[in-house]
Structure 1
Amino acid sequence: MSTIPTTAVAIEPLSISDRLSLVWRIPLLVIRCAANFASFCLSNGEIARLDWRQKLAHAYLRASRVTLTRKQQAQQRKLLTGPRIQGYCHRYNLEHRAVSVNNDTLYKKRDIPTPVLHFVKNPTTQPDGPTIFYLHGGGYHNPIKEQGHIPLALQFAAACKAKQVVFLEYSLSPEQQYPCQLIQAVAGLRYLLEQEAVQAENIVLVGDSAGGHLTASLLTHIVHPSPYAPPIDLRGRQLKAVLLVSPWMAMSEEQIKVLPRAPNDFLTRESIVRFSNMFKPGLNEVWSNRCDMHDAVAVWKKLFPTSHEHAICRKAMLAVGTSEVLLDSCVSFALECMGCETIYVNGQSDLRLVKEADFVLAIAPGEAHVQPGMDCALGYHDGKMMKAISTFLEAC
C-alpha cells in the first residue's frame, strides 16, 4: 500500500564546493574516528569496558558531528520515514502495511499533515502477542534510521513476543512544529484503539529520545486532554507497558543549560538547543514541557501515583546510559515523575532485579544516547541497556 509523506522537508542540494569539501573530509573523518576509538580503548572510565562495536559506534558518531558540515549532515533527511520503512521491509521480506490516519476536520483546522501508521510483522510474530506502538527519535528533525530504529523495535518485539510493531510516521521540524506531532500521535493511538480494535492492555508504548518525549506527551494527553486533539478513552484499562529509551525531557533553556558536559556522548547541549529551536515546544504547557506548574505535578501523579496500582500502565521502564548528556534529566524524570526503582545494570543479578520490578530506572554504565539503537546498527545485542530492556519486556 502506498503512503503519502507526512511533510515535505527542505533539503538544500550540495553545491560543487560542498561535494569537493566532502571528498577531503572523508579521510579526516576516518582519522578522527580512529583517534576516538583509540581514546575509548585506552580510557580508565566506564566506556573502556564497552564492547569494541559500541566504542566504534561512539567514535564514528562523534567524528561525524565535528567533521561534516551542517549541510552535509542534512542530506540524511532526503529519504523520509515512510520510504525507509518500506525499503527495510522489502529488503528483509517483512510483512508491511501502511495506513493514512484520516481526520480531515482535525488536520485542516490546524494545517496538520496526515500521519501514517506502518504495521510491520517479522517471522517471530506471535498472533496473540501485544502490539508495540513505536515513536522514533531524531530530535523531531530527522526521519527514522532504518538500520537503527527499525531493527531495534523488532528486537523489542521479539523480547515481548509482540504481534506487530506499529511505527508512527510523524511530521518533522522545522517544517512542522509543536503541537503537530502530539496531534498525530493522538490520532495514531486512537486509530489502534478504535479502528484496529487493539485493547489498551495489549499495547506496549515505546519511544526513544524525541520519541520518548512524544510518548510522555501522549501519556499526559490521555489523563489531561490537551486542547489540540480529541481525548483518548482507555475505558478504565491500563496499557501493558511503557518504555522510554533515553527520552529527551529537557526542553526549556534553563533545563538545557544545567545539563552536564558529556564528552563521551555524540549528543551535545548545542544539538539539543538547535533541535528545540526548530521544534518550538510549548514551554508553559504540561503536554510539552515538564514545567513547574501545579497542574503538571497533578497530571504526573495521575499517570504514576505513588502506589502504582492505578498507574496508566502495568509496567514502565526508563533506560539511560551514564555517558549521556541527558542522564541527569532522565534520572530526575524517572524518580520524581514515574516513581521508578533505580537499578545499575552490570550483571545477571541486576537483570534479575529488573525482571522483578514493575517500574524501573535502568542505568547502563558507560553507554551513550539510545545506545541500543547504535548496537543494532552493528548487529550487537548484548549491551547492558539492551539486555535490561529485553529482560523488562520478557517479563511484561
Structure 2
Amino acid sequence: MVSKLYLLTLGAAALISASPVANEQAVDVSSVLAPVATEAVPPLPAHASSSKGFKLVAFPTDHSDPLAPTVKGMFLNSYHHGAGLNLAVLHGIDAHNPGAVFYLNKKPGHPANILTSSGAFPYSFNVPHPGGKGAQDVMFPVGDVGTPVAIKEGPPSKGIYVLNEMQTAGRGSFLACKRPVPYYHNTEMIVLQYTYGVTPQGCVPVRLVLECAHLPAPQPNGPASHDHVRPTLTAGEALHLYLVSVPAAIGTFFYTFTRHTLRRWRNGVNAPPNISAAARLKRDLFTSIGALMTVFSLRELQYIQRRTTGDAVRAFATSRKLKLESVLLSDLDTGGFAPATLHLLDLDGSKPLHSGKVMLYFHGGAYISALNNPRPAHVLASRMGAQQLAILEYGLAPACPYPTQLAQAVAALQYLVEKHGGYSYQSVVVAGESAGANLALALLAHMQTPHPRVKSLSLTPSSSLLGILAISARTRNDPTRLSHEENDGKDMLSKASMARISEAWKPVAGEVWAAPDLADRSFWHNFRAKHVLLTAGGDEIYRDDIIHTAEMMNADVSDEDEEGQESRVEVIVCPGEVHVQCVSDMALGIEGGIMTTAVLEWADSMRDV
C-alpha cells in the first residue's frame, strides 16, 4: 500500500505527502542517518509541492569530473531485470524517456522501502551489500536481495534524496557510469551503480534527489503494481456489485446452464460419443461461466480477479517442481510501450539449453483477464517436445490498449531469439487461445509487414517460425458473419461480449494486426511460419471469421515458397464444440474432445520436425 507521508522541504525535489490512514504511521525521516555525499550539491531553486509519487534526479557531487555536466539533471529512467541483468539507466528527460516513477511503500510493522510504479512485480530499489569489490549495479530485485535504500531530508537547498539505509555497515555512494551494455549489443548507456570504495574511471559520484511526480493509480492485473494491492471499489460500487451484479450473475449462470443443457438434450448434441455425461455436464458449466462477462462491469471484473498471470505460473511451477525464470521486458525492450514479464519454464533438462524447441504461449481472456491455469500450455509444450515453455504476462486492457500486447509479444520473441542464448526462429512455436491466438496471428502479421508503431524484428529472408497454433482466434472485431448470429446463445461468447472486449482493448479499425481476418491472400503470401493450425468450434461465434482467415492463408493448400520450404496451413472446425473447447477440456481433465485431439496430434507432429 502506498505510504502516507508528511514531509516538508524546499527545492526542485520538493516533497511527497498524502493523508494518513488508520493503523499506519507516517515515516519519520528525521531519524534517517547522515547523507552519503560529502560535497555540497549546488542550491536548488526554491519551490514547494507535494505528491505521492516521485522521480529520481541525478546531481553530481564531484563537479570537476568531465562526466558531471552530462549527468547533471538526468532522471532514473528505466530498469532492466532478467537473466544475468540487473540494470538501472539514467537518461535525459524527453517525450520518449519521461523518467520512472517511484513511491514509498510502508506496511504496518515493516520498514519503508522504495518501489517502482511499473513492471509486473513491485521491484524494490536496492543497493549491493557491503563487501563487493569495486562499483556494482544498483538492483531492482524481487525478494530479499541487496540492501534497501531510504530517503533523507536534507537542508532546504538540497531537497530530499536517497541513501543506503544501513545503520551497522559503512556508507557508500551512488555513481553514474558511462559504459557499453552487452545485453543491448554494447549500446553505450549512463548506468546507475553503487560503491563502498573508490570511484572508478568513467564514473562520477551522484546524489539522487526526489522530484514530485504523478503516481498512477494501480491498474488490476496491468503493468503497474503498488504492492499488489487488490483494487478497491467505492461504497456505491461495492453496493452495486453485491446487491445487483452478483444476484444477476447467479441468475444468468443458472439460466444459461439450463438453456445449454436442454438444447443439447433436445437436439441430441452428444458428439463426440466418447465424452461421458459427467464431462458434458462440466462443459455446460464452463460455457455458462462465459456469459458472465457482460453481467459485471469492467471494474467489477477486475476487482473480482485476484490472481495475476505471474501468480498462476509461479503456483504451477511450484506444484510441478519446474524451474522457473521470470524476465522483465522493459520499456526499452517494448519500444516505449508498457513493460511485460516473460516466464520461462524448463521442461526438458536432458539436452543443452537452446538446442531444442521452445513454445511461446499467449494466454486468452479477452485481453482483460489474466491466465488462470497454465496446464493446457504445459501439456501442448510437453507433447511437442519443447525444452522450454515461455508464457508472456502481457499488459491487460484497459490500462494497456492495443497495440501494447503486440509490442510486448515482439519483445518476447526477440528476447528468445537474440538475448536468451540463441533459439533460432525455426525452433520457436507460437501458440495462443482466443485473444492469445489473435496475438499469435498479429505477431505473424507483424513479421510480414511491421506495425508502424511497433519496432521491427531483425529478420533475414529465411527467418521463419516453426509453427503457429491459433486456438479459437479472435480474427475480427465486428460481428458481421453468419456464425455471430447463428451461435449467439450457443457459445460462451456473444456479440455483446465482443463489444465489451473492443470497448476495453480499443483496436484500431482496419488494421490487420488487430483483425487478421482483414488480410488478403497477397498479404499472407510466403508468411513466415512452416506449420500453422487454426481451430474453431462449430458452435462458436468466431467460427466463420476463423475459416475465412484460414482461407486467406491458403488453408489445406501446400505451396513451395521462394526458399523451397513447404508452408502448410490447416483449419479444423469441431462440430458441437464451443470457443477454446480444448483449453477448457484440458484444464478440466476431459479427454477425447474433437478440438483437444486435433491440437494434441498437431503438437505431436511438431516433436520430430
Q: Output the TM-score relative to the length of structure 1.
A: 0.81
SS at match of 2:382: helix
Give the whole-Å Cα distance in 1 for the aligned partners of 2:502 and 2:232: 21
- Answer whether contact 2:261 2:284 (CA < 8 A) is retained: no
1:233 aligns with 2:458: yes
Amino acid in the other structure paired with 1:375: D
Q: Map Cα deviations across residues 82-107 of structure 1 (whole Å, 9 max, x no partner).
A: 12211222233222110012343854
Gap runs ≥5 in structure 1: 304-311, 343-356
- Answer whether contact 1:94 1:123 (CA < 8 A) is retained: no
1:224 aligns with 2:449: yes
Give the whole-Å Cα distance in 2 for the aligned partners of 1:393 and 1:203: 13
Task: Give the paired residue count.
Answer: 366
Equivalent residue number for residue 393 of structure 2: 169
TM superposition shift of 1:35: 2.7
TM superposition shift of 1:267: 0.8
Q: Which structure is higher in RCO with an 8 Å CA cutoff and minimum separation 6?
A: 1
TM superposition shift of 1:204: 0.6
- Answer whether contact 1:118 1:166 (CA < 8 A) is retained: yes
TM superposition shift of 1:40: 5.2
Equivalent residue number for residue 342 of structure 2: 117
- Answer whether contact 1:201 1:238 (CA < 8 A) is retained: yes
- Answer whether contact 1:256 1:273 (CA < 8 A) is retained: no
Equivalent residue number for residue 275 of structure 1: 501
Give the whole-Å Cα distance in 2 for the aligned partners of 1:365 and 1:8: 41
Give the whole-Å Cα distance in 2 for the aligned partners of 1:135 and 1:141: 13
Query: Taking structure 1 as reference, are residues 315 and 123 closer, same or farther at Cα in structure 2, changes over 3 Å only?
Result: closer
| Deviation larger for 152-161 or 52-61 | 52-61
Give the whole-Å Cα distance in 2 for the aligned partners of 1:302 and 1:82: 36
Q: 1:360 aligns with which of 566, 570, 576?
A: 570
Query: Taking structure 1 as reference, are residues 130 and 40 closer, same or farther at Cα in structure 2, changes over 3 Å only?
Result: farther
More strand by share: 2
| Deviation larger for 282-291 or 41-50 | 41-50
Q: 1:46 aligns with which of 247, 251, 269?
A: 269
Equivalent residue number for residue 386 of structure 1: 596
- Answer whether contact 2:344 2:391 (CA < 8 A) is retained: yes
| Deviation larger for 18-27 or 330-339 | 18-27
Q: 1:18 aligns with which of 217, 241, 253?
A: 241
Pairing 1:77-226 to 2, within 5 Å after superposition: 77-104=305-332, 107-108=335-336, 112-122=337-347, 128-146=355-373, 150-196=374-420, 197-226=422-451
Query: Taking structure 1 as reference, are residues 167 and 42 closer, same or farther at Cα in structure 2, changes over 3 Å only?
Result: same
Give the whole-Å Cα distance in 1 for the aligned partners of 2:378 and 2:343: 13
Amino acid in the other structure paired with 1:145: N
Larger radius of gyration: 2
Query: Taking structure 1 as reference, are residues 286 and 28 closer, same or farther at Cα in structure 2, changes over 3 Å only?
Result: closer
| Deviation larger for 82-91 or 152-161 | 82-91
Equivalent residue number for residue 544 of structure 2: 328
1:374 aligns with 2:584: yes
Amino acid in the other structure paired with 1:195: K
- Answer whether contact 1:341 1:361 (CA < 8 A) is retained: no
Query: Taking structure 1 as reference, are residues 263 and 38 closer, same or farther at Cα in structure 2, changes over 3 Å only?
Result: same
Q: Output the TM-score relative to the length of structure 2.
A: 0.54
Amino acid in the other structure paired with 1:102: S
